[in-house]
Structure 1
Amino acid sequence: MEIVLYEPEIPPNTGNIARLCAATKTPLHLVEPLGFSLENKYLKRAGLDYWPYVDVTVHPNWEHFLEHAGDRRIVATSSKQGSRYDRFGFEADDIILMGPETRGLPEQVIASVGHCINLPIWGHVRSLNLSTSTGIILYEAMRQADIFPDIEPGVAHDLAMS
């Protein structure tokens, strides 16, 4: 699986998602324009000292990312439409596409990828935080695709060395 942040705007969210990607060995793609510099102190603080363990690629635009994706399935996210995330059938090679924090994915991007999911919200908020949503979706996708490594709980592992 891979995570794509389309035009992310808030550095701490991207930093938190980078940390999630380091924890799960999930490649992270950032589609420009970014709402911050990659040198931003808040971005680095949120990612802590995990940035060396993040497989991150910055794409100058959406078309460039699509060239990378090739024919792999891209699953867009939305707060307004799509299948409920836990009812969607994730596959091991899926690419999960997250939109910008303040406006979400453009309708033409959602329509172009063909798959869209959402997280249900029944409380008094219009959306969940981007990094929270990404974590929920990634772990559910990995669970469904049965790609969790068999490791002891509570113990950090470098699976490349095991």
Structure 2
Amino acid sequence: MKNTFNIVLFNPQIPPNTGNILRLCANTGTKLHIIKPIGFDLSEKSLRRAGLDYYKKVDLRIYDSLDEFLKNNKFKNLFLVTKFGKKRYDKVGYKRNDFFMFGSEINGLTEEVYTKLKGSVKIYIPMISGNRSINLANAVSICVYEAWKQINFSTV
């Protein structure tokens, strides 16, 4: 099975979120990229528990920095998922192999990301006014399933 999309986690902090995203990636054929620093040990029990046996089924790439990630990946479309986005996530046309970058659960995406990826489209997921954020694993699921739906859930 070919990869459908690429999820990029920039500085993830909460093991169960990353574990749940691992499971999602295994079930949707999505490649997972993690950019350090990471707020936990990738072998941590809670990460493995949340990812169950799916851990070995995911094309997982880990990078020491944003620069290393950028050097090792060529992408036509990279979407920055942020509450400061200009386009609603379901109003964008996605294609196979698109990249979606999510920031840490605590700080979101940093100025470094916005500066180095200034040409990327910023997308947002609507939510009730006054709330801070949506859980990271839930936000990733929302975006992956919308994008996958747009390519008719194809895995070929």
> If the length of structure 2 is used for normalisation, what is the TM-score?
0.89
Aligned twin of 1:60: 64
Higher relative contact order (CA 8 A, sep 6+): 2
Quote the residue 2:144 is aligned against.
Answer: 138
* 1:2 Cα deviation from its structure 2 partner: 0.6
Structure 1: which amino acid aligns with 2:29? K
**Residue matched to 2:39:** 35
* d(CA) in 2 for partners of 1:123, 1:45: 34
Query: Which entry has the higher C-alpha Rg, 1 or 2?
Result: 1
TM-score norm. by structure 1 comes to: 0.86
Q: In structure 1, how many angstroms separate the alpha carbons of the residues matched to 2:79 and 2:115?
A: 11
Contact persistence 2:23–2:52 (CA under 8 A): yes
Distance in 1 separating the partners of 2:147 and 2:114: 19
Runs of 4+ in 1 over 3 A off after TM superposition: none
Deviation of the 1:81 alpha carbon:
2.5
Matched, 1:115 2:98: no
Q: What is the CA deviation profile of residues 67-126 of structure 1, one whole-angstrom value per residue up to 9, with x for unaligned ones?
A: 122243211110123210011222212111011001100134134322110000126531
Count of equivalent residues: 150
Structure 2 unaligned segments of length 5 or more: list them: none
Instruction: Provide the residue aligned with 2:153 in structure 1.
Output: 148
CA-based RMSD: 1.7
Stretches of structure 1 that go unaligned for 5 or more consecutive residues are 150-158
Which residue pairs with 1:129 in the alignment? 135
